[in-house]
Structure 1
Amino acid sequence: MIRKASVMKVFREHHEEYRRRHDELWPEMESMLKEHGMLSYSIFLDAETDSLFAYLEIEDEELWAKSADTEICRKWWDYMKDIMETNPDNSPVARELKEVFHLAACLT
C-alpha cells in the first residue's frame, strides 16, 4: 500500500457545497477510483484557511496516475471548477506533501 497526501483550496463561500458534492459522489466516479487502485480516500477541511488536506491509500502509482486521463475524472474536475482553485485543464491545484512520519499499530 502507498500513502499519498496533498493540499488543495476550496473557496470560502463554498465549504458546504464542497461537502455536499462529495456526499453525493457519482457512483461511476467511485467505481473509477477503485478500478485505479484506490483503497481509502479522505479529505479534511481547515475552514480557517480554506485548505483541503487529502489523504489517499493506493495500490500502485502507475495505475493511479492513469485515473486523471479518464472521462469521468475530467467530468468531475469540470463539475468542481467553480468552487475550488483549479489549473487551466480544470484539475484541482494541488501540492503533494512528503511523508515525514508514520506509525502504525499492529493488531493481533
Structure 2
Amino acid sequence: MEQIAFTMQLRPGCAEQYRARHDALWPELAVLLHQAGVRDYSIFLDADSGKLFAVLRRTPEHCMDSLPLNPLMQRWWTSMADLMETSRNHQPLTQPLIPMFHLP
C-alpha cells in the first residue's frame, strides 16, 4: 500500500457542515473510491487555520487519476464547493505533502 497525504482549505465557519456532509457520505461514492483503490482515508482539521489534512492509503494498481472524470465524483465536488477552496470545476485545491518520517 502506498500512503499519501495532502492539505485542503476549508472556508471559515464551515467545519460543522463539512463534518455533517462527510458523516452522510453517499454510499455510492464510498464504493467508487474503494474501486479506485482508495483505502483507509482520513481527513483532519486544524480548527485555527481551517486547514484540512488528508491521509489515505491506496493499492499499487489504484486508478485515482480517473476519479476527476467520473460524474459521481464531479457531483460530490460540486456539493462541497461552497465549503472549501476549489478550482473552476469544483475539484478541491490540494497541496501534496512530502513524507518526512514514518514509524511502522
**TM superposition score normalised by structure 2:** 0.95
Q: Secondary structure at the match of 1:56?
A: strand
Within 5 A, what are the aligned runs for 1:41-56? 41-56=41-56
Tell me the number of residue pairs that the alignment of Structure 1 and Structure 2 aligns: 104
In structure 2, the partner of 1:19 is 19
Q: State the identity as a percent.
A: 38
Q: Secondary structure at the match of 1:13?
A: coil
Structure 1: gaps of 5 or more residues:
none
Q: Secondary structure at the match of 1:29?
A: helix
User: Partner letter of residue 66 of structure 1?
Assistant: S
In structure 1, the partner of 2:100 is 100
In structure 1, the partner of 2:37 is 37
**Whole-angstrom distance in 1 between the partners of 2:61 and 2:77:** 20
- Provide the alpha-carbon RMSD of the alignment: 1.1
Instruction: Point out the structure with the larger helix share.
Output: 1
**Whole-angstrom distance in 2 between the partners of 1:88 and 1:95:** 16
Between structure 1 and structure 2, the one with the greater Rg is: 1
1:48-104 CA-partner distances (Å, limit 9, x unpaired):
000000001000375121122211110000000001000111000110001111111
Q: Which region of structure 1 is more displaced relative to structure 2, 66-75 or 26-35?
A: 66-75
**Whole-angstrom distance in 1 between the partners of 2:80 and 2:44:** 16
